[in-house]
Amino acid sequence: RPGLGDHALAQLLHRVAANHGPQAERKHLRLAVAPTHCAVRTDAVLLERVLGNLVSNAIRYTERGKVLVGCRRRPHGVELQVWDTGIGISPAHLPQLFDEFFQIDSPERDRGKGLGLGLSIVKRTLDLLGHPYTLRSTPGRGTCFSILLPLAEALPVVAARPGTGASAGRIAGAF
């Protein structure tokens, strides 16, 4: 099993925003990270890679609007979400979306935007970590990827640092 431990999400979200902020700025998109005080049990390195992949994809397939990253309290943990106002995904394509080399063949999707491996790696990593995930999408309106993370057992709560570069967003029910 990966190196599971208790980690504050604020620092992880800050690093992802700092790493992907320039990509969003080049497209004139707003990358917003909702402040959080929660801590979760996970492998922080693997989760950061997964989250980075999801944020990068959200930016890649969003032409205007924003990408929002935040957390919601759930009965069995913390739901980490990546929302975008991108092109969305047709319900017909959702079952294959996490398959290796799968890419949606549509005019909005550019073959030069990747090999179709990113989401298969996300799936394998989240399965390895034991973190359930869901995807909701509406063509023309956007997509939301959610990952359910167990609450930390021992880490003291660490507040998000204000003014960290990415503008703060709000998610209803966020903590």
pTM of the predicted structure, to 2 decimals:
0.78
Residue 111 has pLDDT above 60, yes or no: no
Residue 136 has pLDDT above 50, yes or no: yes
- C-alpha Rg value of the chain to the nearest Å: 15
H/E stretch holding 124: helix 118-129
Q: What percent of the chain has pLDDT over 70?
A: 73
Please name which of 158, 156, 152 lies closest in space to residue 4, comparing C-alpha atoms: 152
Number of neighbours of residue 163 by Cβ within 10 angstroms: 7
Residue 115: the pLDDT is 40
